[in-house]
Amino acid sequence: MSNILLTIDTSTIEWSRAQFALTAIYHWLFVPLTLGLAVIMGIMETCYYRTKDTFWKDAAKFWQKLFGINFAMGVATGIILEFEFGTNWSNYSWLVGDIFGAPLAIEGIVAFFMESTFVAVMFFGWKKVSAGFHLASTWLTGLGATISAWWILVANAWMQYPVGCEFNPDTMRNEMVSFAEVALSPFAIDKFCHTVISAWIIGAVFTVAVSCWYLLKGREKKLALESIKIGAIVGLVASVGAALTGHHSAFRVAEVQPMKLAAMEALYNGGTDQSLTAIALVNPFAQPDYENEAEAPLKIAVPYALSILATNDPHGYVPGINDILNGYTKPDGTVELSADEKIERGKKAIEALAAYRQAKYGSSDGDASVVAYHLEVLKENMPYFGYGYIRDKSELVPFVPVNFYAFRIMVGVGCLLILFFMVVLFFVYKKDITAAPKWLYWSALAMIPLAYIASESGWLVAEFGRQPWTIQDMLPTWASVSNLHSSSVMLTFFIFLILFTTMLAVEINILVKQIKKGPEHENN
């Protein structure tokens, strides 16, 4: 692997990262709406099943149609995203494909086929199956999409917190030793809950916004009213749920990815009784001089809140960037090595691996004691293997401005959405939402892009905060890339940019046409 690194052009690494980021960002434009609308249409068809009122059937079929348009686009971008692991990140795929590939395979074989099967019944089975079976198919379509998200998030969570695996020096691969640890990682559970609940918010915002557009136009008032009720209730519950699961996720991040938390907070020097930064003047275009600055300028903070967020203790200790780089002692007495020490031990692991393979396979009569010695040195230093590829400890610090501002955008919009759904429900139950002031309707439409920005910002924090690692502490990004010419990656980047932008424009156009057309009404 080290020899490959010497031949890979830096621009290949940057273009590969850009291409993967492009695909992931576009893919995530479609996925949350799929997961969110699955809940909305499931609730509406349940209302039809219970009341036998054809209004609810018309409403369910309307939202199902919008779900189907978005679902198709999500599948197309998701397939391309998975192929990129093999084309652009072959070193990564070789090293951990046995582990990372398992949840993706299960997602394709089980979850994807499950949702593909039941989505056909949902769309074409209204007059061919019983009402109960059709209702089950609708919920199982949404469940299949959610299970699909589960396995993909398990794979992503493993990159953030690699567990259940061991490195095999004979095959030069990481191999799974516990499927349960990988599949049921606490990091994976927290990530799944927070991500899926945040997707429900997108679906709820979309439902309320489309309904408010109908009220602006004076159309479909009953559909709009009932859809707003369901959407706002789902949205409020999901928004509060996202805040709670977000707190739990932050606790996990502090535990296993302290550098990510420090970057999110622009926390240069940590300690006990840490306050949570509400806002500070962090230069958005340059990495801060964290070695010489005590803290970000013009900082306004909430006392003790960061310690509570990270440790569930107002007096808890939270390390800053400099603490992590220079080494520190945890409150329980555990000593965390400095970055320089980890780099040295990582180099020892790489050298021990090379010596082990030379001793074992370099000659037909390798000395068993020498092989055992190098294997022992490798095992002792293996937790720091990835650090052996780090050239300077400054590379271990993610780009602070992106993490700092993306986190605040996510949290700020999340708080705004809680307020928005509360106001909408106030008008629904205390006033008359069908005669509400127009600013409320326009606010609902404005919430669609804001909700998406918050959702994408959450992913920026998750992925930028992990840098420079593809796999936390195990494999740096530049050691993961395929040995491709940068021009090839650049070409496909722009092809995908044009393709995905066209797909997004087509989807929006079809959605707008269907919304303007409105629901099809079935006579009693």
What is the reported pLDDT for 369?
84
Q: Burial level of 29, CB count in 10 A (0-12/13-18/19+)?
A: buried
- Report the distance separating Cα 367 and Cα 69, nearest Å: 64
Q: With 60 as the cut, is the pLDDT of residue 68 above it?
A: yes
190-210 pLDDT, tens digit each: 999 999 999 999 999 999 999
With cut-offs at 50, 70 and 90, classify the pLDDT of residue 3. very low
pLDDT in tens, 498-521: 999 999 999 999 999 999 998 887
Question: Where is pLDDT greater, at 434 or 224?
Answer: 224
Enumerate residues 6+ apart whose C-beta is below 8 A from 57.
Answer: 45, 48, 126, 522
Residues contacting 245, CB < 8 A, separation 6+: 190, 193, 194, 197
Structure tokens at 79: 């397939």
Contact 161, 182 (CB under 8 A): no
Beta bridge partners of 271: 318
The DSSP secondary structure of 225-275, one letter per residue, reads: HHHHHHHHHHHHHHHHHHHHHHHHHHHHHHHH-HHHHHHHHT-SS-BSSPP
State the pLDDT confidence band at 479, using cuts at 50, 70 and 90: confident
- Beta bridge mates, 335: 329
- Least confidently predicted of 186-190, 361-365, 409-413: 361-365
Q: How confident is the model at residue 363 (pLDDT cuts 50, 70, 90)?
A: low
The pair of structure tokens assigned to 48 is: 């039809």
Contact 511, 66 (CB under 8 A): yes
Average pLDDT over residues 413-424: 95
Radius of gyration of the chain (CA): 25
Which has more pLDDT, 522 or 211? 211
What pLDDT is recorded for position 113?
A: 80
Give the model's confidence band at 257: pLDDT under 50 very low, under 70 low, under 90 confident, else very high: very high
pTM over 0.85: yes
Q: What pLDDT does 74 receive?
A: 81
Is residue 367 over pLDDT 80? no
Alpha-carbon gap, residue 36 to 170, rounded angstroms: 46
Length of the chain measured in residues: 524
- Quote the CA–CA distance of 511 and 178 in Å, as a whole number: 44
Find the mean pLDDT for residues 47-75.
90
Residue 301, beta-bridge partner list = 277
| DSSP for residue 53 | -
> How far is residue 475 from each of residues 92, 183, 254, 387, 516, measured CA to CA in Å?
8, 20, 20, 8, 50
Structure tokens, 306? 């960061």
> DSSP 3-state assignment of 218?
coil
Q: What is the largest CA-CA distance in the chain?
A: 88
Which of 6, 364, 391, 358 has the alpha carbon at shortest distance from 169? 358
Phi, psi dihedral angles at 431 (to 5 degrees): -120, -145
Bridge partners of residue 50, in order along the sequence: none
pLDDT, mean over the chain: 90
Is the pLDDT at 297 greater than 60, yes or no?
yes
Name the phi and psi angles at 218, rounded to 5.
70, 30
* Residue 425: pLDDT over 90: yes
Reported confidence tier of residue 6, pLDDT bands at 50, 70, 90: very low
Whole-angstrom distance, CA of residue 183 vs CA of residue 189: 9
Q: What is the pLDDT of residues 91-109, one digit of tens each?
A: 898 888 889 888 888 888 8
User: How many angstroms separate the Cα of 132 from the Cα of each of 139, 140, 477?
Assistant: 11, 12, 49
Q: Report the run of H or E that residue 312 belongs to, with start and end.
A: none
What local confidence, expressed as pLDDT, does residue 9 receive?
72
Q: With beta carbons less than 8 A apart as the criterion, state whether 356 and 446 touch.
A: no
> Residue 7 above 70 pLDDT?
no
Task: With a cut of 60, say whether residue 4 has pLDDT above it.
Answer: no
Q: What percent of the chain has pLDDT over 70?
A: 97
Q: Is 312 left (phi over 0), alpha (psi -120 to 50) or beta?
A: left
User: Per-residue pLDDT tens for 116-168?
Assistant: 788 889 888 898 999 999 999 999 999 998 998 999 999 999 999 999 999 99
Residues 6+ positions from 458 with CB-CB distance below 8 Å: 194, 195, 198, 406, 410
Q: What is the pLDDT of residue 509?
A: 93
